[in-house]
Amino acid sequence: MNLRRLLLPLILPAVIALGCRDEQPPPAPPPVPAFTAPEGPPPSGTGLLLIVVDTMRHDIPGRRVANRSLTPNIDRLAAGSTQFSSYYAAAPWTAPAFGTMFTGVSPSRHEGGLIAPRENPTAGRMVKGFYLKSIRSDMPTLAEHMKQQGMTTGAVVSNPFLFPLLGYRRGFDEFDYSIAHRRADEVTERAIRWLNANGDKPFFYLVHYIDLHTPYDPLPAHRDIFDRPAGRMQRPFMMPFDEVMRTDFTNEERSFIRSLYDGEMAQVDRQIGRLLAALQRNGMADRTWVVLTSDHGEEFLEHGGLYHGRQYEDEVTRIPLMIRAPGGTWGAGNTIPATVCQVDLLPTLVALAGAPPKDVEGRSLLPLLTGASDAGGRCYMEAPMMRHHPDPRLSRHLHRHAFFDGRYKVIRSDDGTIYRAFDLLRDPGEKVRLPAMYPAVRKATAAMNRYRAMLRRTGPSTPSVDAVPLPADVQQSLEALGYTQ
């Protein structure tokens, strides 16, 4: 007897039941503080301070460790801000995510940081032997938009991937770039000096902290409240990805690794407190918009891995976004649950400066900030870091993209051979995979396909310039961060 005919009567009822789950009322969403529409229009400001904490997870604000707040200064900033609780990165790693923050379009359109293999790339290596593409020169950057508004522009950044020749420097009057892993205290010192020198005129300033990135090695002052070394794990911690996949971590080891990350976060929070205090002390807080966000998050074995760069689950792609108006009262304490995306950051910031940009994928979030709209968006994610591997079976896992419609997330390989879907309302931990035939999944997949078609239709009509070869010292710095292992 044909096995398919024998099993069909047994399988079909279960399939029908799964397909009918949409007919059941969904569980109540988690409570969100009531939104209070701010009084009057957004206040005008002459300054815009963008703080990007590299690798900061969405669950950091409000996190408590050892019965104390991990981030008291960020928590105070949040209390005076409007927070977006469902904000998603455009890519799971720094270069393309920053490219999206700087252009308002998806990585496949701006191309910044996309890895271009040489004819004979070194097998199994993520950066060595590869060239990186730069942000397309025909796309204006965030800093260039701000320059057009008459602002003095500056940045202090410490991730080697933000290499000036890749286009990240465009539009900045001063771009304080370092290939070294600069600690938060040094970054803050440089930021305060710049603000002291330029804060009396309209300005846009980017402060980028990289402490949370591997290797995890908090300063001694931030170790005492966390766990001691556990089992095989020691500080500083940075294990090659292949070894991570072969290691069976104990709960104690997992807790220790996360504790090192938390220690790094505590020291960044302290420096953010110093930065905001300087803003207040110099009289700039009442005329400066402050925006805090991240480029991507970090996994701690929630789905079997560590770090970032390959994953699209929430621990890597859902990140904080808080916006504090000048004076810290307009919109203070509001939390907006609508799903918003990294492509929305540029149009929002440029709108705050007075001139909404054109020809971007994202939308300004001002209508959500004012209460004029509560509509969420749909977020597309792409451009995993390592896209080439000598093992074709592994390569399929590396060519992936994702789509989140506010409830359902679809993760798929470019060739369609790998498919994962989750209902984040019922399953926020993304543990229960839904079948591709599930109606809501089919709907989300169709929306993702339409979005990808739009990217192809509106994408570059001409090939980009040749990819940029990274200098040896930049590659060495990336190796120190774990990128080339």
pTM value is: 0.88
Tell me which amino acid residue 122 is. Answer: T
DSSP class of residue 364 equals -
Closest CA to 217 of 148, 263, 275, 266: 263
Rounded to whole angstroms, the Cα distance separating 29 from 27 reads 6
Domain annotation covers residue 12: no
Domain that holds residue 96: 43-378
pLDDT of residue 177: 93
Q: ∠ CA 324-90-162 to the nearest 5 degrees?
A: 80
Does residue 361 sit in the same domain as residue 418? no
Does residue 371 sit in the same domain as residue 418? no
Rounded to whole angstroms, the Cα distance separating 251 from 22 reads 36
Residues 77-104, buried b or exposed e (16+ Cβ, 10 A)?
bbebbbbbbbbbbbbbbbbbbbbbbbbb
Domain count, the chain: 2
Does residue 362 sit in the same domain as residue 406? no
Domain annotation covers residue 468: no
pLDDT of residue 213: 82
Does residue 411 sit in the same domain as residue 300? no
Does residue 370 sit in the same domain as residue 409? no
pLDDT of residue 370: 95
Does residue 147 sit in the same domain as residue 222? yes
Rounded to whole angstroms, the Cα distance separating 53 from 304 reads 24
pLDDT of residue 302: 81
Does residue 94 sit in the same domain as residue 158? yes
Domain annotation covers residue 298: yes
pLDDT of residue 288: 98
Does residue 294 sit in the same domain as residue 442? no
Distance of CA 442 to the CA centre of its chain: 26
CATH number at residue 407: 3.30.1120
* Positions of the chain with pLDDT under 50: 1, 3-23, 119-129, 389-391, 485
